[in-house]
Amino acid sequence: MWRNGVRWRKATVLDGDRAVYVGDVPVRRLRCGRCGARWSRAPERIESRAHYQPCVVARAVVRVVVDGEPTAVAREHECDRGTLGRWVERVAKVAEPARLSRVLIAAADQPTLPALPTARTSRSARLTALGARAIAVLAMLEALASLHGLPPPGLAHARRFMPADAAPTVRTAIRGGGSVMA
């Protein structure tokens, strides 16, 4: 394996309780000496190729669903209110909460399902239900990550817990592309 340079990217990560924009994240480019294949390796705290890291997304989703103040949460996480709505929808579509709880029950001898915070009533029943589902998905992913000894947030490890037969929209939601992004 040979080092083949560095490219710079931007990311928003959590630093304590604050979302912090980092404008110069080095991503090492590597190349295989035998076959010539190339790939990139991001630093340790950068889990995703997305600008907003899973820790920021998970925290913002919980805050906007439980506290219900999208303008304040958007300002705090340095994003747009529309972005918050897309994050809630994307997290809610990562997996069925019932399916995640079955995976959790199968993985643990005596699982303790997490107590979920109450989703604040939104301007529509659909948005309230979507927020409650997003909170349930995040809670189950956190419980699974903890059970497997993985660092938080559980959202960063969602692919690990999803069965191979998951629906295409679920895979798209985890990857962060396609129709779920709209």
Closest CA to 180 of 39, 56, 50, 46: 50
Strands of 18-31's sheet, edge to edge?
Answer: 2-15, 18-31, 38-41
Q: How many CA atoms lie within 13 A of 19 on its CB side?
A: 21
Helix 70-77, helix 54-67: angle, nearest 10:
160
Per-residue model confidence as pLDDT tens digits over 15-69 = 888 888 888 888 888 888 888 898 888 887 777 778 888 989 999 999 999 888 8
Per-residue model confidence as pLDDT tens digits over 80-137 = 999 999 999 999 998 888 888 888 888 887 777 767 877 877 778 888 889 999 999 9
pTM: 0.75
What does the block give as tokens for 138?
Answer: 């995040």
- CA–CA distance, 66 with 68 (Å, rounded to integer): 6
What does the block give as tokens for 64?
Answer: 């906007």
